Amino acid sequence: MKILKISALVLPLLISASCSKDFIDRPSLSGTTTGNYYNNAAEVRAATSTLYSGLPWRNYESRAQDAIGDVMSGNMFSYTDVEYLNFSLSSASERVGAAWGAFYKIIGYANVMIKTFEEKKANGGGAEYLDPAIAECHFIRGTIYFYIARTWGDAPIITDPGETALSGNFNIPRYFQKDVLRFALEELQLAEAKLPESDDPGRLTKYSAKGMMAKLYLYNKDYTNAKAKAQEVINSGKYSLVSDYNGMFTKASLNNNTESLFSIQHQFAVDPWGTGNIKNPDRGPSNLRTAEADAWEMYMPSLDLLNEYEFGDLRRKWSVMEHGWTNPNWKPQRANQPKYNEFMANGYKYDTIQPIDDGGAKNAVRANIAKYFAGPGKSYGGEPVLGQNSGNNVVLLRYADVLLIYAEATLGTNSSTTDASALQALNAVRARAGLPARTSFTLDQILHERRVEFAFEGDYWYDIQRQGYARAKAIIEKQNRGSFDGGPNYITTFTEDRMFVPVPAGEIIQDPELAKPAVPYYK
């Protein structure tokens, strides 16, 4: 196994060092050290901004997030990720390996920064800017371990790769999922204690930590603490629902809005190929492909999800393109296709009857995903796009989630509730969607709300999973995962071992302990 020496590095070296996929890798020893760097807030904040940027998250948010969070959950249909659609994925599955590599790479960055900043502080560095930076690292590390625990269940916990290297023992075991979740929670608690009340747009605050803690508590069915943390975010008055729902995901001008508690930061103008959002082509309809923007329909809405929307739910047209969907601002044009250009001259039309060559759209489910599709390019009335990249942030925690966490935590283990505060939280989300207020709600109704509210955001699989195997199996077996072209597809062989994805085969080869039963992390 390739092991790189540990040190504190400046931002460029943090990004470029260590190309191995080994999950205990970390930046190499070269260049600037703590003795002559990290001497002011600007240098420290430049380093921690790495943890937010698109580059280290790239291999997760590009396709792995979609395959695990939405294809596997039954929200997306895909020809390319059939193994996630049908639960036939193996330890050699590409998306599993990509997510693992991205997550442990980010953890490696956080580990190095925590150690570096703590050493700097011990040597007389400025606690006033080092403490918040350390807290940012704890938030990222805790959040990533929360994702890892929900994705793989039992998993390694690594906090000091330097110590691992010095010990000479590179056989890292998997720890029980409950211990990984406990570690994630402790990290978020450390973040909450030292993060500021407010900061620049896009930077973490203590309310980011509170919101993520509420989500983790809900996953653990700790309804009392989930409700309390969600309430703290609500009572802060710092967040609100954004009226332009679709714009949150498609307009760079709405990055870091009042609904966002934590987002992956994309900087299209700075480095589109390194930090741009690359969801655009995988979701866009092929009849919107232009010289500026690719679109090849790798992921599409599932028929089951389309059937989930209530009549009149505005989130359907904000999230999905179907026959009759239009955008008058988008005016795509193509060389040597006069009929296509004439059809689109007054704005984009999603038409499943029009011939394909003349501008029609007719894929397997007769629909496409609107979320995170920024359009055909700036020259054609859309957002700036360069091939596969746009400047839209990927939101991982937003205020709507906090409201629905509060509502569900208030429901708790009851069959239904008429609690006024819970209804207020739930109905705020429904009101934006143009739906009538509920006077009571059940768990099924709150799960429905979460499914359509966060569709295509990589979250629904974890909502299914946290219901436990029996209920998850029942949910999955009712879903139609087929298409108009291939017919219905119902899963009848879902087994408990599919509740988590397998550890990548390449990691097991390098670390055979990963194939063994999990052990306790806390003694």
The mean pLDDT of 320-340, rounded to a whole number, is: 97
Q: Which of 49, 316, 365 is nearest to 200 (CA)?
A: 49
Hunting for tokens 């999955």 — which residue is that?
Answer: 476
The mean pLDDT of 384-388, rounded to a whole number, is: 85
Query: To which H or E segment does residue 164 belong?
Result: helix 161-167
Q: Check pLDDT > 70 for residue 416.
A: yes
The mean pLDDT of 402-407, rounded to a whole number, is: 99
Alpha carbon distances (Å) from 325 to 217, 309, 310, 317, 383: 39, 16, 18, 7, 18
The Cα–Cα gap between 232 and 228 comes to 6
- Residue 404 tokens read as 């629905």
Residue-level pLDDT at 27 = 41
Q: Which of 308, 241, 320, 226 is nearest to 480 (CA)?
A: 308
Q: Check pLDDT > 80 for residue 332.
A: yes
Task: Render pLDDT for 251-276 as a digit per residue (tens, 0 to 9).
Answer: 999 999 999 999 999 976 666 666 78
Residue-level pLDDT at 388 = 82
Provide the greatest CA pair distance for the chain: 71
Residue-level pLDDT at 273 = 64
Q: Which of 169, 198, 186 is nearest to 256 (CA)?
A: 198
Dihedral sign of CA atoms 216, 145, 192, 199 in order: negative
Residue-level pLDDT at 169 = 72
Task: Render pLDDT for 58-70 as a digit per residue (tens, 0 to 9).
Answer: 999 999 999 999 9
Decide: 89 and 71 in contact? Cβ < 8 Å: no
Give residue 25's pLDDT band: very low, low, confident or very high (50, 70, 90). very low
Q: Check pLDDT > 50 for residue 31.
A: no
The Cα–Cα gap between 29 and 307 comes to 55
Who contacts 64 (Cβ-Cβ below 8 Å, separation ≥6)?
95, 96, 98, 99, 102
Return the ∠ at Cα 6 (arms to 5 and 10), rounded to 5°: 120
Who contacts 169 (Cβ-Cβ below 8 Å, separation ≥6)?
none
- What residue spans of 195-222 are helical by DSSP H? 206-219
The mean pLDDT of 181-197, rounded to a whole number, is: 98
174, 175, 176, 178: CA torsion to nearest 10: -130
What average pLDDT does the chain have?
A: 91
Who contacts 63 (Cβ-Cβ below 8 Å, separation ≥6)?
81, 95, 98, 282, 298
Task: Render pLDDT for 210-256 as a digit per residue (tens, 0 to 9).
Answer: 999 999 999 999 999 999 999 999 999 999 999 999 999 999 999 99
Cβ neighbours, 10 Å, residue 198: 12
Q: Check pLDDT > 60 for residue 102.
A: yes
The Cα–Cα gap between 453 and 445 comes to 12
